[in-house]
Structure 1
Amino acid sequence: MYLQHFGLSEFPFGITPDTSFAFSAHSHQAALNTLLVALQCGEGFVKVTGEVGTGKTLLCRRLLQSLGEKTVTAYLPNPNLEPQTLLLALAEELRLDGVAGLDQFHLLKKINLGLLDYARQSQRVVLCIDEAQAMPLSTLEALRLVSNLETEKRKLLQIVLFGQPELDEKLADPSVRQILQRISFHHRLTGLGRDEVALYLQHRMRVAGYRGEPMFTGGAVRALRRASRGTPRLINILAHKALLSAFGEGRQVVKHRHVRGAAQDTEGARPAGWW
């Protein structure tokens, strides 16, 4: 498409979470710092929420990459599971043998023994759950039971929940109030600030191989900020379409009108009237 035209080695604005393109926006870096401090303190539950497209999955992957060799990690990308299925998935993530066919009681016992083995090896275990707002209430309760596993000194399992704002509504349900009381660290992800959008665009273009002057004009950057409200995923979609539009005209610079056309063609961007 436009790679050769703009001197790029790969597409700079893909929507698949890619840690090689990670940009240390203020909100994201603050969230990562909060997570690392909370895990270092041995907290059982930590929570990160954010609107769709704010980069929760990317943050989760950055966290998993940041944990040292002494940490055993488990990752559940789709927790919309029944309680026993969630426990089975956790056991498999922890590489425990002989879990097939076990009932919930024996699954918990098997997980407890496995966590104790890791503790004896001086390894901590961190479970990251993405899209946590999709968890049924009964499964959240099963998760609480797992979080009860501990020695006299520390928790055997630390759990990080990543979810949309609906997760807060679910945790407000009286049936899972014990989990809410155990969340001592939490962070709310926000979109990119007004001064961060231009830096974000330049960063991704540079990672993709671009070495010239800023390709997006000031007007294009402002239009991207307004149309996307600073949401990284929307910025990526709009910037990609704007590059396609500039390429179609044979231009080397992305202008306001290219972003406007992209916004009018994109679900979730602000409607045409906002111009």
Structure 2
Amino acid sequence: MYTAHFGLRELPFGITPDTSFFFGSPGSQEALNTLLVAARSGEGFIKITGEVGTGKTLLCRKFLSTLGPEFVTAYIPNPYQEPRALMLALADELEIALERDVDQHRLLKSITERLMQLAGDGRQVLLCIDEAQAIPVESLEALRLLTNLETEKRKLLQIVLFGQPELNRKLELQSIRQLAQRITFHYHLGPLSRDDLDFYLAHRLRVAGFGGARLFSRAAVARLYRASGGVPRLVNILAHKALMLCYGQGRQQVERLHVNAAASDTIATSRRVPRFAAWRQAAAGALLAGVVAGITWVWMR
């Protein structure tokens, strides 16, 4: 790709959550600190919300990698499951050996015994659930009942919910009001600010091995912010495409026109382009398509 051209060891703007690229912006660092303090308190539920693409999964993985050996962690990335399936997923994460056709009573008893055993060993069990807005209400209630298990000092199981704002509306339901009352810590993760975006780009480029000066011009950064709204996932997509176009033209600095082309080629951001600039949008998209075709031809050769 363009790594050698810009002196990079790896691609700097992938959309796969990679904790080595975690950027401690004021918002994300405050969210991480909230999680760490809440986890050590050993109480109830913790909730982290944020719009699509604001970095909830990356924050979750960074949080899990930061915890010490006194924690036993479980991670469920797909919670759209009925209560029994969710309990089986938790048992699997806690390495509980179960019979093939274990009944519900034995399943819950096995989980309880495992939690008691870990508490006796001085370990704290923490379950992180990603995409928590997708959890069925019945499964949320099953999780709440699990958090009833406790010693005289603390809960046997802590649960951290990472979800989109729809999770808040689900928690307002009368049927699960007891769970909402048990959320002792919460944080809403927002987009990057304009100033944060400049540092975010520099941080990811530095982690990827870039040792030069400014790779994105100030005009390019300003356009990137307007096109992405500061949402990290969109920033990564646009920055990656802009670097491809810059490389295809043999240039060493990303300019505004490169970001314009990237934005016009991205469904989630093309609507941000002003109507009077539609002709620029079409021209930029054609330019990007031509550059990508040229790069592909070189690879095939």
Q: TM-score, normalised by structure 2?
A: 0.89
**Per-residue deviation, 1:105:** 2.5
Q: Report the 3-state secondary structure (helix = DSSP H, G, I; strand = E; otherwise coil) of the residue aligned with 1:112.
A: helix
Aligned to 1:45: 45
Match of 2:104 in 1: 104
Report the secondary structure of 1:110's partner residue: helix
- Alignment-derived partner of residue 71 in structure 2: 71
Name 1:61's counterpart in structure 2. Answer: 61
CA-CA distance at 1:173 after TM superposition: 1.0
Paired AA for residue 95 in structure 2: R
Deviation at 1:267, TM superposition (A): 1.5
Q: Distance in 2 between matches of 1:219 and 1:181?
A: 47
Structure 1 residue runs without a partner (length 5+): none
Q: What secondary structure, in the 3-state scheme, does the structure 1 residue paired with 2:187 have? A: strand
Q: Which residue matches 1:150?
A: 150
Corresponding position of 2:2 = 2
How is 1:46-195 mapped onto 2 (pairs within 5 angstroms)? 46-195=46-195
> What SS does the aligned partner of 1:192 have?
coil
Gaps in structure 2 of 5+ consecutive residues: 278-301
Q: CA deviation at 1:102?
A: 2.1
What is the identity, as a one-letter code, of the residue corresponding to 1:156?
Answer: L
After TM superposition, the score normalised by the length of structure 1 is 0.98
Once residues 186 and 54 of structure 1 are traced to their aligned partners in structure 2, the CA distance between those partners, rounded to angstroms, is 16
Find the aligned partners of 1:227 and 1:271 in 2 and give their Cα distance. 6
Q: What corresponds to 1:224 in structure 2?
A: 224
Match for residue 294 of structure 2?
none
What secondary structure does 2:74 align onto? Answer: strand
Equivalent position of 1:200 in the other structure: 200
- Distance, in Å, in 2 between the alignment partners of 1:210 and 1:261 is 23
Is the CA contact 2:98–2:107 (under 8 Å) kept in the aligned structure 1?
no
Q: CA deviation at 1:108?
A: 1.4
Is the Cα contact below 8 Å between 1:133 and 1:166 reproduced in 2?
yes
Q: Distance in 1 between matches of 2:171 and 2:104?
A: 23
> Which residue matches 2:290?
none
Q: Please identify, of 105-114 and 246-255, the stretch whose mean Cα deviation from structure 2 is larger.
A: 105-114
Q: Which runs of 4+ in 1 moved over 3 A?
A: none
Residues 1-10 or 57-66, more deviating? 1-10
The offset of 1:99, in angstroms, is: 4.8
**SS of match in other structure, 2:32:** helix
Cα 1:117/1:168, change in 2 over 3 Å: same
Deviation at 1:19, TM superposition (A): 0.4
Q: CA deviation at 1:39?
A: 1.1
Percentage identity across aligned positions? 59
How many residue pairs are counted as aligned between the two chains? Answer: 275
1:84–1:103 CA contact under 8 A, matched in 2: no
Equivalent residue, structure 2, for 1:273: 274
After TM superposition, give the deviation of residue 98 of structure 1 in Å. Answer: 2.2
Contact kept, 8 Å, 1:88 with 1:99, in 2: the verdict is no
Q: Paired residue for 2:244? A: 244
What root-mean-square deviation, in Å, do the aligned CA atoms of Structure 1 and Structure 2 show?
1.1
3-state DSSP of counterpart to 1:188: strand
Instruction: Please state whether the residue corresponding to 2:268 is helix, strand or coil.
Output: coil
Q: Which has the larger radius of gyration?
A: 2
Q: Which has the higher helix share?
A: 2
**Contact kept in structure 1, 2:64 and 2:73, CA below 8 Å:** yes
Partner of 2:298: none
CA distance in 1, matches of 2:34, 2:131: 19
Deviations 1:75-111 (A, max 9, x none): 0000001100100110110111125322223211111
Change (3 A) 1:47 1:193: same
